[in-house]
Amino acid sequence: MNLVQRVQDILLKPKSTWPVIDTETEDVATIYKTYLVYLAAVSAIATFIGFSVVGTHVMGVSFRVPFLAGIANMVVGFVLSLAVIYVLALIADALAPTFGGRKDLLSAFKLVAYASTAGLLGGIFNLVPALSMLSLLASLYSIYLLYTGIPVLMKTPPEKALGYTAVLVVCGIVAGIVLGAIGSVFSGGPGMAFG
């Protein structure tokens, strides 16, 4: 799989890309090694640069996350991004029968991993902290990708895809909050420096 081509395909033509993904036989470890680690790294590194190097300015005062805290946040954020994807795949797999779909952990993982593309790449907006809210818009597109992929990968009837998507989004938010709280213990919290 060509990383750049897959990113373009899933972002620009998801409806024709999901059936291709459905036929692929790559395992979870391969998807992590050849796809997710790169996208998660883009987001983590951009966030580090934006908040620890560039900083943000509010009413003439600049704020920056201290360098070492920024490094810790970057590493923890990277690991947690990868962890949340796996946890959400487990949830997607468990919920499939509830929405008339089939349980298949690999399909659930592919669904969550590739649907996360827009949200992970949206982290690039964190390079300029003033634009970081745009990463939220990218995450909204990931919800659309999830919605379009559910009927194909989880074999859920199309009329149940919206409900399935909504439940997964809520579960993803909860999982992100819980893992983020756990991660803040390891990174020592965000900390800010005035400059």
Kindly report the number of other CB atoms within 10 A of residue 123's CB atom. Answer: 24
Structure tokens at 111: 């669904």
Residue the block writes with tokens 């509010």: 58
Continuous segment of H or E residues that includes residue 193: strand 193-194
Q: How far is CA 26 from CA 12, 88, 140, 144, in A?
A: 22, 19, 27, 23
Average of per-residue pLDDT across 30-56: 92
At 44 the three-state DSSP class reads helix
Which string of DSSP letters, residue by residue, matches 32-84? IIIIIHHHHHHHHHHHHIIIIII-EEETTEEEE--HHHHHHHHHHHHHHHHHH
Q: What is the DSSP letter of 97?
A: G
What amino acid occupies position 154?
A: M
How confident is residue 188, by pLDDT bands cut at 50, 70 and 90? low
Q: HEC states along 128-171?
A: CHHHCCHHHHHHHHHHHHHHHHHHHHCCCCHHHHHHHHHHHHHH
pLDDT over 70 at 190, yes or no: no
pLDDT given at position 183: 67
Average of per-residue pLDDT across 161-167: 96
**pTM of the prediction?**
0.88
Average of per-residue pLDDT across 117-133: 89
Q: What percent of the chain has pLDDT over 70?
A: 93
Q: How far apart are CA 40 and CA 86, in angstroms?
A: 13
Cα 28 to the center of its chain, rounded Å: 15
